[in-house]
């Protein structure tokens, strides 16, 4: 787990605010007893996970596709080639939504803004080490133009029908 106690407290505040501001329909499906804590989320989302990431085209049309992600210091980081359609969308329109789910145990939804992480930034190599653990090789071996996109969350919802199955409190 990469998150410090301060980051867990900040993430818990974001989760609480987001769930409290969620629409009544969502709150009727996932009541307070179904909410996951920041610690549960951080412990569960270790290693490379597959998420659905949504962007918007220049015509305002939504695009969603699966992508690898790592949860690092309370943020999702996505890997993508800088020449990809997703990267081009996010360069012009940085709003992004990410969803991780396994049925409804858990469902983790993040809305936020994309920030591109360059190879020269310190976190790049730490993130890449997660890909090496998962796939046995660096993302740089796939393409010289591959990189990471951090999702700075404005909203984050984390729920499960059986939250007791998740470690942490």
- Residue 59 phi/psi, 5° resolution? -90, 5
pLDDT reading at 72 higher than 90 = yes
Domain residue spans of the chain: 5-161
In order, the DSSP letters of 88-155 are HHHHH--EEEEEEESTTSSEEEEEEEEEEE-TTSHHHHHHHHHHHHHHSS-GGGT-TTEEEEEEEEEE
The rounded mean pLDDT for the chain is: 92
Give the Cα separation of 48 and 31 in Å (integer). 28
> The domain 5-161: what is its CATH number?
2.30.110.10
pTM, rounded to two decimals: 0.92
Residue pair 158/15 in contact by the 8 Å Cβ criterion: yes
Q: What pLDDT, on a 0 to 100 scale, did the predictor assign at position 32?
A: 87
């Amino acid at each position: 787990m990469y998150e410090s106690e301060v980051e867990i407290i900040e993430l818990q505040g974001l989760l609480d605010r987001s769930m409290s501001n969620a629409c009544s329909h969502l709150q009727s499906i996932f009541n307070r007893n179904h909410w996951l804590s920041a610690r549960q989320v951080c412990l569960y989302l270790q290693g490379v996970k597959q998420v659905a990431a949504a962007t918007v085209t220049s015509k305002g049309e939504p695009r969603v596709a699966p992508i690898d992600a790592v949860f690092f210091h309370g943020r999702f980081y996505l890997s993508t080639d800088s020449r990809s359609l997703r990267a081009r969308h996010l360069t012009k329109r940085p709003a992004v939504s990410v969803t991780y789910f396994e049925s409804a145990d858990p469902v983790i939804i993040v809305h936020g803004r994309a920030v591109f992480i360059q190879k020269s930034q310190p976190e790049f190599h730490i993130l890449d080490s997660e890909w090496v653990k998962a796939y046995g090789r660096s993302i740089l071996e796939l393409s010289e133009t591959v990189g990471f996109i951090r999702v700075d969350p404005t909203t984050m919802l984390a729920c499960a029908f059986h939250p007791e199955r998740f470690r942490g409190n």
